[in-house]
Chains A and B, each alone.
Chain A
Amino acid sequence: MTVLSTETLPVVSESDIVNVRRSVRESAARLGFSLVDQTKVVTAASELARNTLIHGKGGQMELITLNGPRTGLRLSFQDRGPGIADIQLALRDGFTTGSGLGLGLGGAKRLVNEFEINSRVGEGTTITVTRWK
């Protein structure tokens, strides 16, 4: 697998969520994603960035474009927040510790091809998703 580019964006304010959406959209378009696939990966990024901001108390997103043998976009959201105690529960639709609908994690997972979550209570959470072209 060849890494075409890597970029790191802060996720510490609401306007960073807008920036994340814009950068992910630009990269997906540059890689030649269809409009529907662009929309899916941008929406997933928006959900995950909001999780990083609200539940992870802020962090960053690494944006990696991949090429050969497959073209894809990999997004890694990293925070040093409280961590997730029960990942299975957090992934379930309707489960929320905040004031949202609880669709963020489970919904984002459905919008990408690969979804990996690493979390340690008290240390932080890293969620890495990949959408292939």
Chain B
Amino acid sequence: MEKIPILRMGEFLLVTIQVDMHDRLAMTLQDDLTNRISQTGAKGVLIDISSLEIVDSFIGRMLGNIASMSRVLDAETVVVGMQPAVAITLVELGMSLTGVRTALNVDAGMELLRNSIDAQKDFLYDSPVH
């Protein structure tokens, strides 16, 4: 069966969606990704959608689900590389991807993830113990 590869990069997982996804493939990705987060203890997930020519309500919902599920598993999700035409259409469709963090490209997304993980560590280790 067709699958979208999930790459591990240190404490992050990277997914690059390069095919026009049919609905079941999107559901499979959602399941695979949550399994990989729990297996690897990854702290962040980057989803590169720069090759996607459309995001409809189904794919939008999948992105939202992935963000929520990974948050519950203690990982941050950042969706990167959305094409401008896709962003315009998505908002007109009525989806603003509430709860999904976005960045313009993979580099910016990676930095966003690192900063938020560092901030968490600072909070954990620098809190005064009394």
- A, B in one complex: yes
The interface of chain A, by Cβ under 8 A from chain B, is 14-15, 17-18, 21-22, 25, 35-36, 38-40, 42-43, 46-47, 50, 93, 100-101, 103-104, 106-108, 110-111
15 A-B pairs in the complex with CB atoms less than 8 angstroms apart:
A21-B54, A36-B84, A36-B85, A39-B53, A39-B83, A39-B86, A40-B88, A43-B89, A47-B93, A100-B61, A103-B94, A107-B57, A107-B93, A108-B93, A110-B92
The interface of chain B, by Cβ under 8 A from chain A, is 20-24, 53-58, 60-61, 83-86, 88-90, 92-95
- Closest A-B pairs by Cβ, 10 of them: A107-B93, A39-B85, A46-B56, A14-B22, A103-B57, A36-B85, A39-B89, A103-B94, A43-B54, A35-B85
Residues of chain A lying within 8 A (CB to CB) of residue B53: 25, 39, 42
Residues of chain A lying within 8 A (CB to CB) of residue B22: 14-15, 17-18
Asked if B57 and A18 sit within 8 Å, CB to CB, the answer is: no
Asked if A42 and B54 sit within 8 Å, CB to CB, the answer is: yes
Interface of B is mostly: helix
Number of A-B contacts (CB under 8 A): 72
Bound together, the chains give a CA A122 to CA B83 distance in angstroms of 41
Instruction: Given A14-B23, A15-B22, A18-B22, answer yes or no on A110-B56 (Cβ-Cβ < 8 Å).
Output: no
Residues of chain B lying within 8 A (CB to CB) of residue A36: 84-85, 88-89
Bound together, the chains give a CA A47 to CA B95 distance in angstroms of 13
